[in-house]
């Protein structure tokens, strides 16, 4: 009899590409995942992982078994959904993937409220880039994703995934207090051609929005510093090393050296909750989405 937990570990390695990444997604240590795979190899008398350079790769037999594991996990999910429906209340484990600033500025209040109202619900959060989190939902690795997109870079839901809008997050230009723009109430995009920018790295949603938008005004943005964390970008602005476009969600209080200036028109990013169609009946999904939408206005206002 194949153990479902070990199959889940193999499926996670197949999805994430490494034991370490699978362990992070599952909430285990890499050693625990390796032990699960080793036990599965002994049970099946099959080699599942092979060394490939500094990493590992799945054997052909492992890919076959991982595909079967995905089907079994989908059946388990369906059974869990039906049981939770019959209980009529949120219960069991709910895995949530969320981008960094929402994990900091939105999810603590949401998770605390869910824990207060629904003690039988075990909600677990992972910080994941929006593009990756949606794919994880579609593959059945994560139950719910909180993702975002921009007006010129929409993030469509793939087949089999449903989504709903949580709300809009406004963004500001951040400049040093001695910068010529610091005294302005607002500034237009065309006026920023000569600025030195601090941005997230290429491949992120925020970086793509910045480059596409400024190129549309006829110039290539000069990005001199790249930092994934908004707080790092704020610190670089405070040091007078450039300007940055930073969303309000999760930004926190600005240091005295940094001044926010409204960009006209105001850039906004839209937050979405996404989940698999097959899990839409889960009370845990419905209640989490309701809580996200209910708390968003006060969180956005505070931001």
Q: Which of 146, 136, 138 is nearest to 24 (CA)?
A: 136
pLDDT value at 54 more than 80? no
Q: How far apart are CA 207 and CA 128, in angstroms?
A: 16
Decide if 52 is inside a domain: yes
Note whether 72 and 214 are same-domain residues: no
pLDDT value at 69 more than 70? yes
pTM above 0.75, yes or no: no
Decide if 211 is inside a domain: yes
Note whether 177 and 262 are same-domain residues: yes
Domain boundary among the residues 80, 107, 122 is at 80
Decide if 85 is inside a domain: no
Decide if 19 is inside a domain: yes
pLDDT value at 282 more than 90? no
231: domain CATH number is: 3.40.190.10
Note whether 178 and 231 are same-domain residues: yes
Note whether 36 and 185 are same-domain residues: no
Note whether 233 and 251 are same-domain residues: yes
Specify the range with the lowest mean pLDDT, choosing from 11-20, 26-35, 75-84, 220-229. Answer: 75-84
Note whether 187 and 70 are same-domain residues: no
54: domain CATH number is: 1.10.10.10
Note whether 71 and 107 are same-domain residues: no
Q: Is the dihedral of CA 51, 52, 53, 56 positive or negative?
A: negative
pLDDT value at 169 more than 70? yes
Higher model confidence: residue 135 or residue 85? 135
Decide if 100 is inside a domain: yes
Domain boundary among the residues 80, 110, 140 is at 80
Note whether 181 and 253 are same-domain residues: yes
Domain count for the chain: 3
Note whether 264 and 187 are same-domain residues: yes
Domain boundary among the residues 80, 104, 120 is at 80
What is the average per-residue pLDDT within 18-25? 82
Question: CB-based contacts of 217: which residues, under 8 Å, 6+ apart?
Answer: 189, 190, 193
End-to-end CA distance of the chain: 52
Q: Residue 225's beta-bridge partner residues?
A: 198
Q: Say what the pLDDT of residue 130 is.
A: 79
What is the average per-residue pLDDT within 251-276? 93
Note whether 63 and 106 are same-domain residues: no
Note whether 155 and 196 are same-domain residues: no
pLDDT value at 232 more than 70? yes
Note whether 264 and 173 are same-domain residues: yes
163 within 8 A of 138, measured Cβ to Cβ: no
Q: Which of 149, 185, 105, 102 is nearest to 268 (CA)?
A: 149
The pLDDT confidence band at residue 147, using thresholds 50, 70 and 90, is: very high
Decide if 237 is inside a domain: yes
272 within 8 A of 164, measured Cβ to Cβ: yes
Query: Which residue range(s) make up the domain with 228?
Result: 169-268
pLDDT value at 22 more than 80? yes
């Amino acid at each position: 009899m194949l153990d479902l937990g070990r199959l889940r570990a193999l499926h996670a390695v197949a999805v994430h590409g490494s034991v370490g990444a699978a362990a992070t997604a599952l909430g285990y240590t890499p050693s625990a995942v390796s032990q699960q795979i080793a036990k599965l190899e002994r049970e099946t008398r099959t080699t599942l992982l092979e060394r490939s350079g500094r990493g590992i790769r799945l054997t052909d037999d492992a890919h076959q078994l991982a595909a079967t594991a995905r089907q079994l996990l989908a059946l388990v999910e369906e059974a869990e959904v039906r049981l939770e429906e019959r209980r009529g209340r949120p219960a069991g484990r709910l895995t949530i993937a969320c981008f960094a600033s929402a994990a900091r500025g939105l999810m603590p209040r949401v998770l605390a409220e869910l824990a207060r109202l629904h003690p039988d619900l075990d909600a677990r959060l992972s910080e994941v880039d929006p593009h990756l989190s949606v794919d994880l939902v579609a593959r059945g690795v994560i139950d719910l994703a909180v993702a975002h997109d921009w007006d010129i870079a929409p993030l469509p839901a793939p087949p089999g995934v449903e989504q709903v809008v949580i709300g809009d997050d406004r963004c500001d230009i951040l400049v040093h207090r001695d910068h010529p723009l610091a005294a302005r109430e607002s500034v237009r995009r065309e006026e920023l051609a000569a600025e030195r920018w601090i941005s997230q790295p290429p491949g992120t949603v925020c970086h793509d929005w910045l480059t596409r938008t400024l190129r549309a005004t006829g110039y290539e943005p000069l990005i001199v510093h790249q930092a994934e964390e908004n707080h790092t970008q704020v610190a670089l602005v405070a040091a007078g090393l450039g300007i940055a476009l930073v969303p309000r969600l999760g930004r926190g209080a600005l240091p005295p050296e940094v001044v926010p200036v409204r960009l006209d028109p105001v850039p906004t990013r839209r937050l979405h909750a996404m989940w698999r169609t097959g899990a839409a009946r889960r009370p845990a999904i419905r209640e989490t989405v309701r809580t996200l939408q209910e708390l968003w206005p006060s969180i956005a206002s505070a931001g």
